Amino acid sequence: MQKTLSVIGLGKLGLGMAACLADKGHYVIGVDIDKKVIDAVNAGESPLYEPVLSDLIERSRGRLIATDDYEKAVKQSSVIFIFVGTPSEQDGGFSTRYIAPVAAEIGKHLKQTADFKVIALRSTILPGTTERVVKPILEETSGKLCGRDFGLCYNPEILALGSVIRDFLNPDVVTIGESDKVSGDMLADIYTATCENNPPIVRTSLTNAEIAKISLNVFLTVKMSFANTIAEICEKVPGGDVDKVSEILGCDRRIGRKFLTGATRYGGPCFPRDTKAFIAFTRQIGCQALLANAADQVNDLQNGRIIETIIQKVGPLKGKQVALLGLTYKPDTDIVLESAALGVTQIFVQEGALLKVFDPAGIENTRQVLPGNSIEYTESIEQCLRDTELCIVLTPWKEFKQLTPQDFIREMKTPVILDCWRLYNNKDFRDGVDYIALGVEGSRPC
């Protein structure tokens, strides 16, 4: 049955969710404090880069409205999802400085309503936050009792930038931490009707849902760092090839192939900071997060591994004309936060290399973080490669995968290529180019 729902916080994640719910026929009130976001959504446009999102917003006009009016959102909706940011604190934990005022606003208007509404928190938080921070604010400001007069759920988002829409509609699991059964039922009904893949819906306490959310991302960082360690081993053992090793490991159903690629460091807005938050949280409660710590440390070594490989191949970087393909932390996003490219670029600049960079979506965001004259931002792959002596492929965009040896030979002064993601086939990249694949010792047998 179609409902009126609210999503508070129309950011990288919240807007995708709001658009999907509206596309499935619900009437969705999106609340944000950013006027640019509100205006864009109401004009049927996406204010941010995310595949498919623009189409959904356009298609949902009339069913998706954006506003800064909390009263309207709370009064009209049966479920209010909170999806505001939770920036990192100095000690690595997550701040609730955006969640707390949102909860207070919701509580204020909840006071004026008679019907039972559910508040579902979706932001990433440390375990205990829903019960200890959000619930008391809602109860105090509304004068109502959680579980009796209104419901509270922790319903974490487990999706990836670049595939927000697909992941939201096809999740591996829907996690519902609930204050009471009625609230859990209301959320479960929404997901049953919205998801296209009939996912398992796991219902539990608020705390277990919170621990599961943060643990999931940390498990993936451990897996990625382990794969990067295997990649480094393969580079040092004659005949080693991380793709073959990962293929074998990945066939084991207890392990699985995903996140075992062995390439650059993990980056973006979630993996590094969730791991640090997990470490901070375990410290607070007197546990030791040895594996999370190790994943973090291995991750910090990855840019150095790339630079070392380059110096071994081409010698000192000073004065070298270098093309760098890929700035974002992964394809299909414009986010460069904590990306391998940011760190590698900074080292190149410090070492005095003459650097040209290109990315299908991440140029503007990189320019904001690394302004100045030491980097030439280019508008095409060809322009980036032109007259350079070395090319490093740092993000596996499909635009880069399509390149042939001729593309490099035609533009570059000396076509030396370091492929961090092994996008190219060694057989094709043998003649006329000097091709090095990270995670592989020497050349692969053709």
Ligand X SMILES: NC(=O)c1ccc[n+]([C@@H]2O[C@H](COP(=O)([O-])OP(=O)(O)OC[C@H]3O[C@@H](n4cnc5c(N)ncnc54)[C@H](O)[C@@H]3O)[C@@H](O)[C@H]2O)c1
Return the residue of 25, 44, 51, 85 that touches ligand X, per CB under 6 A: 85
In Å, the largest CA–CA distance within the chain is 75
d(CA 71, CA 145): 20
Q: How far is the CB of 50 from ligand X (least distance, A)?
A: 10
Least separation in angstroms between CB 92 and ligand X:
13
Among 10, 118, 279, 324, binds ligand X (CB under 6 A): 10
Contact of 119 with 8, CB cutoff 8 Å: no
Shortest Cβ 318–ligand X spacing (Å): 37
Q: Does 11 bind ligand X (CB under 6 A)?
A: yes
Phi, psi of 81 (to 5 degrees): -90, 135
Contact 54, 15 (CB under 8 A): no
The whole-angstrom separation of Cα 383 and Cα 357 is 9
Q: Which window, 26-34, 168-176, 190-198, 246-254, contacts ligand X (CB under 6 A)?
A: 26-34
Binding residue for ligand X, selected from 74, 84, 220, 353, defined by CB under 6 A: 84
- Give the whole-angstrom CA distance, residue 283 versus residue 442: 43
Task: Report the residue number, 69 or 185, with the smaller CB distance to ligand X.
Answer: 69
At closest approach, how far in Å is the CB of 270 from ligand X? Answer: 5
Q: Please, which of residues 36-65 interact with ligand X by CB under 6 A?
A: 37
Q: How far is the CB of 240 from ligand X (least distance, A)?
A: 33
Terminal-residue alpha carbon distance, the chain: 57
* Selected range binding ligand X among 9-17, 177-185, 355-363, 384-392, rule: CB under 6 A: 9-17
Q: How far is the CB of 8 from ligand X (least distance, A)?
A: 5
Determine the distance from the C-alpha atom of residue 173 to the mean position of all C-alpha atoms in its chain, rounded to a whole number: 17
Task: Find the helix packing angle between 242-251 and 206-236, rounded to 10°.
Answer: 140
**Which of 22, 27, 32, 186 forms a contact with ligand X (CB under 6 A)?**
32
Least distance from C-beta 10 to ligand X, angstroms?
A: 5
Q: Which listed residue (153, 234, 270, 391) is catalytic?
A: 270
The residues facing 392 across adjacent strands are 324, 418
Complex with ligand X: residue 10 or 390, whichever CB lies closer: 10
Based on the number of CB atoms within 10 Å of its own CB, is 254 exposed (0-12), middle (13-18) or buried (19 or more)? exposed
By beta-carbon proximity to ligand X, the closer residue of 98 and 191 is 98
Only segment of 30-38, 126-134, 408-416, 422-430 that touches ligand X (CB under 6 A): 30-38
Name which position in 58, 98, 104, 229 contacts ligand X (CB under 6 A).
98
CA distance readout (Å), 72 to 32, 68, 93, 134, 297: 13, 9, 33, 21, 47
DSSP character at residue 40: H
User: According to CB under 6 A, which residues from 307 to 346 bind ligand X?
Assistant: none
Note whether 296 and 221 are within 8 A (CB): yes
Residues in region 247-286 near ligand X by CB under 6 A: 269-270
Q: Residues 5, 7, 12, 278: which binds ligand X (CB under 6 A)? A: 12
Identify whether 270 is a catalytic site residue: yes
- Identify the sign of the CA torsion 202, 208, 214, 220: negative
- As measured in angstroms, the least distance from the Cβ of 385 to ligand X is 31
SS (H, E, C) 276-297: HHHHHHHHHCCCCCHHHHHHHH
Comparing every residue's Cβ against ligand X, the nearest one is: 11
Give backbone dihedrals phi and psi of 442, rounded to 5 degrees, phi first: 55, -140
CB-CB contact of 110 with 144 (8 Å): yes
* Binding track over 112-141 against ligand X, x by CB under 6 A: -----------xx-----------------
Identify which range of 11-19, 179-187, 315-323, 378-386 contacts ligand X by CB under 6 A.
11-19
* Active-site annotation, residues: 270
Give the interface with ligand X as residue ranges (CB under 6 A).
8-14, 31-34, 37, 83-86, 98, 101-102, 123-124, 157, 161, 269-270
